[in-house]
């Protein structure tokens, strides 16, 4: 049972998320008021550009937060996330390859780019899992394997960028920075459909994540097929990250920051509630980052991936320092 204080905190989470969703579309290089929506030019910008952008940032941030929460429980490592485990790198490589082959510009909605990102993300996670997860290895080995995969994928992306035409090279460069400024309703529906499938599927495994934190032996003694559950969760999460990355690009650190913030605010929470609060926190974080990216240097917009990196880098370093102190105690 949740304490009264925790219920109040969760209610505050929900109110903040709702307020961010409501006010974000009105803020930008040109701030809007309700009266402006009666004007055709402002109404087009509001409904065709800012609404899809706000929804993409909130849903994308929420999805990445849940993915980070799943990986942190799955591998019992607080530093695990789609970014550090190589999933984002693999998805980025798959999407960049599709752009190079013309799939992104010839079909509406980036459907083949999404498929390429999904394939790349699953392949990267499979490689990391195959080489780094054994009885003798640990989560640190897994993270190192993820960093290696990310580095290799980055090298291939740079190679593809170099041999691409000017137009495709710009698309790849702009896409790999990460951003939601070019989101339309078609690509938003692709990501939204991916997230709906992922959230419904992952809901059945949330009790398993609570047991994964106690160790494989205890989880197995409770009747859980640990190997099969882990494989299903890896594929499902890679699928979700692929769908998000294909729309938003490889935005980093959201999957690390959001679950940790929720654990600090509501400690000892089961994954059913942690998933809910992480989704809202990730969505709020990415949406606010997107608002900052479009107002910090007007009239130029900064890609949101830069903002999340500037915020997430120090937070990641703080986690490393805390983890080192805990190991030395």
- The string of pLDDT tens digits covering residues 131-165 is 766 555 566 677 788 888 889 998 999 999 899 88
Asked if the structure places residue 31 within a domain, the reply is no
Dihedral in degrees, nearest 10, Cα atoms 288, 6, 316, 121: -80
Asked if the structure places residue 290 within a domain, the reply is yes
Long-range contacts: 3-10, Cβ < 8 Å, 24+? Answer: 6/266, 6/269, 9/265, 9/266, 10/266, 10/273, 10/276, 10/277
Domain containing residue 195: CATH number: 1.10.3470.10
Long-range contacts: 103-107, Cβ < 8 Å, 24+? Answer: 104/171, 105/168, 105/171
Residue from 44, 313, 312, 69 nearest 198 by CA: 69
Is the pLDDT at 328 greater than 60? The verdict is no
HEC sequence for 273-325: HHHHHHHHHHHHHHHHHHHHHHHCECCECCCHHHHHHHHHHHHHHHHHHHHHH
For position 142, what pLDDT does the model report?
75
Is the pLDDT at 65 greater than 90? The verdict is yes
For position 106, what pLDDT does the model report?
44
Among 23-37, 123-137, 195-209, the range scoring the smallest mean pLDDT is 123-137
Asked if the structure places residue 234 within a domain, the reply is yes
Name the residue with higher pLDDT: 261 or 115: 261
How far is 185 from 232, CA to CA, in rounded Å?
30
Residue from 209, 215, 290 nearest 29 by CA: 290
pLDDT band at 107 (very low <50, low <70, confident <90, very high): very low
How far is 255 from 312, CA to CA, in rounded Å?
10
pLDDT band at 109 (very low <50, low <70, confident <90, very high): very low
Buried b (16+ CB within 10 A) or exposed e, 9-35: bbeebeeebeebbeebbbbbeeebeee
Asked if the structure places residue 30 within a domain, the reply is no
The percentage of the chain sitting over the pLDDT mark of 90, rounded to a whole number, equals 16
Name the domain count of the chain: 1
Is the pLDDT at 70 greater than 60? The verdict is yes
Q: Which distant-in-sequence residues (6+ apart) come within 8 Å of 158 by Cβ?
A: none
**Mean pLDDT over the full length of the chain:** 82
For position 309, what pLDDT does the model report?
85
Asked if the structure places residue 49 within a domain, the reply is yes
Asked if the structure places residue 69 within a domain, the reply is yes
Over residues 244-262, mean pLDDT: 84
Is residue 62 within 8 A of residue 283, CB to CB? The reply is: yes
For position 37, what pLDDT does the model report?
80
* Domain hosting residue 118, numbered range: 4-25+36-328
For position 108, what pLDDT does the model report?
45
Is the pLDDT at 326 greater than 70? The verdict is no
The pTM score is 0.87
* 111's tokens: 């459907």
Name the residue with higher pLDDT: 286 or 43: 286
pLDDT band at 64 (very low <50, low <70, confident <90, very high): very high
State the sign of the Cα–Cα–Cα–Cα dihedral 306, 61, 319, 8.
positive
Asked if the structure places residue 84 within a domain, the reply is yes
Q: What confidence tens digit (pLDDT) does each residue in 264-282 have? A: 887 766 888 888 899 999 9
For position 79, what pLDDT does the model report?
76
The percentage of the chain sitting over the pLDDT mark of 70, rounded to a whole number, equals 91
């Amino acid at each position: 049972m949740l304490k009264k204080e925790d219920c109040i905190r969760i209610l505050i989470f929900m109110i903040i998320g709702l307020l961010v969703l409501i006010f974000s579309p009105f803020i930008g290089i040109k701030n809007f008021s309700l009266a402006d929506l009666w004007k055709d030019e402002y109404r087009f910008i509001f409904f065709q550009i800012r609404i899809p952008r706000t929804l993409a940032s909130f849903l994308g941030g929420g999805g990445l937060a849940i993915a980070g929460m799943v990986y942190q429980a799955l591998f019992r490592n607080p530093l695990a996330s789609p970014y550090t485990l190589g999933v984002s790198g693999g998805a980025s490589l798959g999407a960049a390859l599709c752009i190079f082959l013309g799939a992104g510009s010839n079909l509406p909605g980036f459907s083949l780019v999404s498929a390429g990102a999904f394939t790349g993300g699953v392949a990267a996670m499979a490689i990391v899992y195959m080489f780094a997860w054994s009885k003798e290895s640990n989560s640190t080995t897994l993270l190192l394997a993820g960093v290696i995969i990310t580095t290799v994928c980055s090298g291939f992306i740079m190679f593809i960028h170099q041999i691409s035409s000017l137009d495709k090279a710009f698309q790849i460069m702009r896409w790999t920075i990460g951003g939601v400024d070019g989101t339309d309703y078609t690509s938003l529906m692709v990501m939204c459909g991916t997230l709906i499938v992922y959230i419904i599927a992952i809901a059945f495994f949330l009790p398993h994540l609570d047991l994964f934190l106690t160790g494989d032996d205890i989880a197995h003694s409770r009747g859980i097929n640990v190997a099969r559950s882990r494989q299903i969760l890896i594929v499902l999460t890679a699928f979700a990250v692929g769908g998000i990355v294909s729309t938003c690009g490889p935005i980093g650190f959201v999957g690390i920051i959001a679950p940790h913030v929720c654990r600090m605010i509501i400690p000892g929470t089961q994954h059913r509630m942690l998933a809910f609060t992480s989704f809202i926190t990730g969505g709020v974080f990415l949406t606010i980052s997107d608002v900052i990216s479009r107002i910090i240097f007007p009239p130029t917009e900064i890609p949101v991936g830069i903002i999340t990196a500037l915020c997430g880098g120090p937070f990641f370093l703080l986690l490393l320092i805390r983890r080192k102190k805990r190991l030395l105690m």
